[in-house]
Amino acid sequence: MKTYHKKTAGATIIGGADGPTSVFLCGRGRDKNPLRRLKWNLRNWKDAGKRKAAERRIKAGAHTMEETVRYMMEKYHAVEEGDTYPHYQERRQGMKYSLIQQRQPQLLGKIEPVHPPRDLSDPQEAARWLQEVEAQTEELQARVRAVPEEDFPMEYHLYTIDLGEDGMLEMETDPLHEQFSCSYAGKKEVLERVQQDLYLYYGVSQEDIDRKTERYRMLVLVLSS
């Protein structure tokens, strides 16, 4: 379960919002097929329109992490899960990586980029590249696990909202680092509305809007998905 996939015309980032991001496929270049170029330009135009519409919905009015947790418990009967919950350690590990990468990347040491082969249609080259990607991902995960709690303390919490046949949402928070993320599996039209409601309640301040902070950019991304 991931909240979103990051994509741009020049790069695809493999990984989720809350997990290791180890591969960048850059240098797409100009597509020689005019029909594909037209489709790509149309998609970019639609995405830009969604972002503008999302920005118009955003008004200043932020809530704290604690207020947001109370809100989702009262309105959606969210339940806090413990470390026996499936994927709990995986989720926590992913947030830890993301936070360290954002705030103290020096704790992970030097990370060499994994460059894709020029010809991805070559099965041997593609297989070799994927092996390098997997090896680097495992190495990064090991580095994250090796960072002591005293060097990078966390206050991780995982909550779930069970909507029965419509599916389930997972909310991860870390009040210490002001981190809030949501992912879901199930009926998109239902769960996406709940996700957007939670992000809108968490909200942004006028300063977030003016400075286009990470909190603001995330809200725009969720509302335009």
Cα separation, 158 vs 79, in Å, equals: 9
Q: pLDDT tens-digit profile of 13-30?
A: 333 444 443 333 333 445
pLDDT band at 114 (very low <50, low <70, confident <90, very high): confident
HSE toward the beta carbon, residue 126, CA cutoff 13 A: 5
Alpha-carbon separation of residue 108 from 9, 33, 148, 175 (angstroms): 29, 41, 12, 22
Across 5-144, the runs of DSSP E, i.e. the strands, are 11-14, 23-26, 79-81
55: confidence class by pLDDT, cuts 50, 70, 90: confident
Q: Return the higher-pLDDT residue of 106 and 2.
A: 106
Integer Cα distance of 126 and 54 in angstroms = 38
Task: Report the distance separating Cα 18 and Cα 186, nearest Å.
Answer: 19
Q: What does pLDDT average to over the chain? A: 82
Determine the average pLDDT of the residues in 189-211: 94
Q: Distance of alpha carbon 32 from its chain centroid, rounded?
A: 32
Q: What are phi and psi of 208, to 5 degrees?
A: -60, -45
Query: Contact, 158 vs 80, CB < 8 A?
Result: yes
